[in-house]
Structure 1
């Protein structure tokens, strides 16, 4: 349950100028910690997927109908809105939104800490959060993808619940869910703070329902339900190599531990009034574990509760311990920022070469099929996908977070191959890029794709091991 502010804490909140001094500092830190994000046009395939979705939506496409993904609609809409304002040639506007998302999260955490432990703890929480927010592989920490936009909603949900604003807390939980399903994990600490009392529960439901129902009605209600909930069973269930999964989980956890090295020593000590924060951390850990994929960006959800728990512990320690923790966090931050600025970009260079080849081989109005896991190729080439399935994953059950899982047409999303056949028959792609390069989803393992290539296409060259196929000319 939230602590009742002490008289000294209440008095400290009346001091003028607190936020006018703190917010510029947090804004500067948010910009500095996101600086590597501008070092390259794309950080990972998720950014590419969202960029392609946004272009299709801007051209009249409909989410869950003409373009699909196993994600709620909020982040694709953010991309679409940013592109509408500035054009779709650059992700710079989306990265500005990511900076604002991190700034909002830091400010909400600062406000939570200030309410509980005073002005100094507020500053500590906001600064520490931004310093550790980069403590992952740069392609996970710097990309403007789903998890970054979950964080303001989760922090806002706790902020509202801490003040007993249950309707607003429900709306914030809904916004976190609409960024990505695992954002709904924040409901657990909100329920903890509510004490499961009837009044708060009713207000939570009343606040959460309109955003979710509105999103469903604004898209396709049955498609929204299928792609965000009922159709994700194969993705969320485990199949594959335990060794691969464990190595990924431990590897990304070790990177996070290095990034959060300044937060961990204070957590050894216990401080009063932290039960709700531990529930938040446990719920966030459950979100990371869900599906056993353990991508690095999943771990971002752990950072807000970890920051507040460390701040609570530092509040009980001598002031010099806080200064040392901030200094250590700054050093770790500098290390990860250097990594982000100097990191190689092999995957991006490959996608660029494929995009250049696709652009040369097709006209602006012709459709292309890139068979692989690099949807950013469509965006870089400025070509329209030939199908609503932007990667091979939904058609084969292939996932980058698994090894040894069943892959093939039988493991596809229900009905996906029927849709694929209709789309490629009605509007055959002018170019097919087989970017499988020996992966389990290669055409030789997929009868439908193999027949399509044999009947209508001929090989026209290779790029980095990817094979280009053009439509056979009728004689």
Structure 2
């Protein structure tokens, strides 16, 4: 009897008004869960990095040459397009796109669940995803980051594979990778769904290769390969700050467990009594977990990719449990969502306030068009100040490997991205910044541990002020801006 219940139960009839009723509800829920996203100009350095990249691209920069990042190009291009249409002074257009990305993910999950288990399951999957998608630290859940734009493509890959549209599934996997490398993890469950389908692997492979090859051709193929795949060995190393990274991983895991408190009990209960039969969903969850582990950094926004498979697994489990379990899961998810919404609206703005003060000092002491250097991990300072960076390396992390929270023995010039320091020296010699802000504030990438930066400051700059612990250095031959 139980095995029969676990078999996919499709809707006998498809009411014409199903999506007409469900889409407005999901759209409203998506808007409500994203209310905190507009409560501040930006949420984390990733948004700042992307905003500065987009401005550099708009000013004639070339991706993976004069504009560099360890991430694929899809999200920087998205920011650039949004800025071209709506201006670059606000991230609101990008936040709207992020909201639409979450809504599209919810709709695809609802469609998957409805096809397998019926109309009620479709509504359940879409709603549970949106409620749980903010179950992280607000700076991870509310930001318009890489993972947000990766999720619709991973969901689309599963949706297409479930319908044996394997060429389209391959294209979706390729686009997920182009949003963030770990998006490619969805290939594992898609391969399972592909099975022994005649010609399926060929169509899947061709679909996967198409967006990757096109992107490599649009950028620099060697640079694209280096910055997205081969050039991050030191960044992905496990050594350095093991205890710090472990604590971060456990903390963010605990936050996600709290955010998914409505999803996990039905899954655990069903696991105790029977197999759910949804092997592809378990593979999706396992592959996504590997994506979280990749690089051993455990940032909170990495955990977003676990939410879609968890929402579908919870939906599958609720199909064989009494109806009161569905009500309990929904109420628990709503309560957790309300708590995270309150957290997002009341979260402290300590680092943002610091960066805003730095940006104001930068704008006051330089003219528009003058190049500056912010030596730290807050590239958003450039964007808030309306100034272009003097180097393609927007954070000290790319030049010292502090990116990702590494410290101690794994931070220094010798751990930088290959070839970064010779390029940095050429940039400083060709077009030295009129102002340098040392925002290291005692961290292990300060000038006392970076000889090249220390020599640059000693030979051509003088200290002219301090802001919140950051030190301002003005070039000796620089003309001060008019008051």
Please, what TM-score do these two structures have when normalized by structure 2?
0.95
The alpha-carbon deviation at position 142 of structure 1 amounts to 0.2
Equivalence for 2:388: 384
**1:116-135 equivalence runs, <5 A:** 116-135=116-135
- How many angstroms apart in 2 are the aligned matches of 1:371 and 1:474? 19
Equivalence for 2:91: 91
Equivalence for 1:210: 210
SS at match of 1:232: coil
Distance 1:474 1:95, change over 3 A: closer
Distance 1:405 1:50, change over 3 A: farther
Superposed CA deviations along residues 102-156 of structure 1, whole A, max 9, x for unmatched, are 0000000000000000000000000010000000000000000001111001000
Contact 1:239 1:404 in 2 (8 A): no
Equivalence for 2:306: 302
Equivalence for 2:178: 178
- How many angstroms apart in 2 are the aligned matches of 1:37 and 1:167? 35
Superposed CA deviations along residues 173-221 of structure 1, whole A, max 9, x for unmatched, are 0010000000000001101111265611111111111111111111111
Contact 2:407 2:444 in 1 (8 A): no
The alpha-carbon deviation at position 6 of structure 1 amounts to 8.0
The alpha-carbon deviation at position 278 of structure 1 amounts to 0.4
Which of 337, 341, 344 matches 1:337?
A: 341
- How many angstroms apart in 2 are the aligned matches of 1:27 and 1:474? 53
Superposed CA deviations along residues 238-285 of structure 1, whole A, max 9, x for unmatched, are 111322222111100000000000011101214532111000000000
Contact 1:245 1:292 in 2 (8 A): yes
Equivalence for 2:159: 159
Equivalence for 1:75: 75
Superposed CA deviations along residues 52-104 of structure 1, whole A, max 9, x for unmatched, are 00001111111101110000000000000000110000000000000000000
SS at match of 1:307: helix
- How many angstroms apart in 1 are the aligned matches of 2:208 and 2:425? 39
SS at match of 1:380: helix
The alpha-carbon deviation at position 406 of structure 1 amounts to 1.0
Equivalence for 2:147: 147
Q: Does 1:320 find its partner at 2:324?
A: yes
SS at match of 2:432: coil
- How many angstroms apart in 2 are the aligned matches of 1:97 and 1:396? 33
The alpha-carbon deviation at position 402 of structure 1 amounts to 3.1
- How many angstroms apart in 1 are the aligned matches of 2:119 and 2:299? 35
Contact 1:358 1:381 in 2 (8 A): yes
Distance 1:474 1:65, change over 3 A: closer
The alpha-carbon deviation at position 473 of structure 1 amounts to 3.0
Equivalence for 2:229: 229
Q: Does 1:9 find its partner at 2:10?
A: yes
Q: CA RMSD in A?
A: 1.7
The alpha-carbon deviation at position 8 of structure 1 amounts to 6.5
Equivalence for 2:44: 44
Equivalence for 2:35: 35
Equivalence for 1:441: 445
The alpha-carbon deviation at position 7 of structure 1 amounts to 9.9
Superposed CA deviations along residues 377-415 of structure 1, whole A, max 9, x for unmatched, are 000000010000000011001124334351111111111
Equivalence for 1:250: 250
Contact 2:110 2:124 in 1 (8 A): yes
Superposed CA deviations along residues 17-40 of structure 1, whole A, max 9, x for unmatched, are 000000110011111101100000
Structure 1 residues without counterparts, runs of 5 or longer: none
SS at match of 1:461: strand
- How many angstroms apart in 1 are the aligned matches of 2:286 and 2:9? 31
Contact 2:11 2:114 in 1 (8 A): no
The alpha-carbon deviation at position 228 of structure 1 amounts to 0.3
- How many angstroms apart in 2 are the aligned matches of 1:262 and 1:474? 59
Which of 333, 343, 359 matches 1:355?
A: 359
Contact 2:11 2:117 in 1 (8 A): no
Equivalence for 1:267: 267
Structure 2 residues without counterparts, runs of 5 or longer: none
Contact 2:8 2:117 in 1 (8 A): no
Distance 1:146 1:7, change over 3 A: closer
- How many angstroms apart in 2 are the aligned matches of 1:47 and 1:6? 43
After TM superposition, the structure 1 stretch with the greater mean CA deviation from structure 2, 81-90 or 403-412, is 403-412
SS at match of 2:252: helix
Contact 1:244 1:403 in 2 (8 A): no
- How many angstroms apart in 2 are the aligned matches of 1:474 and 1:295? 40
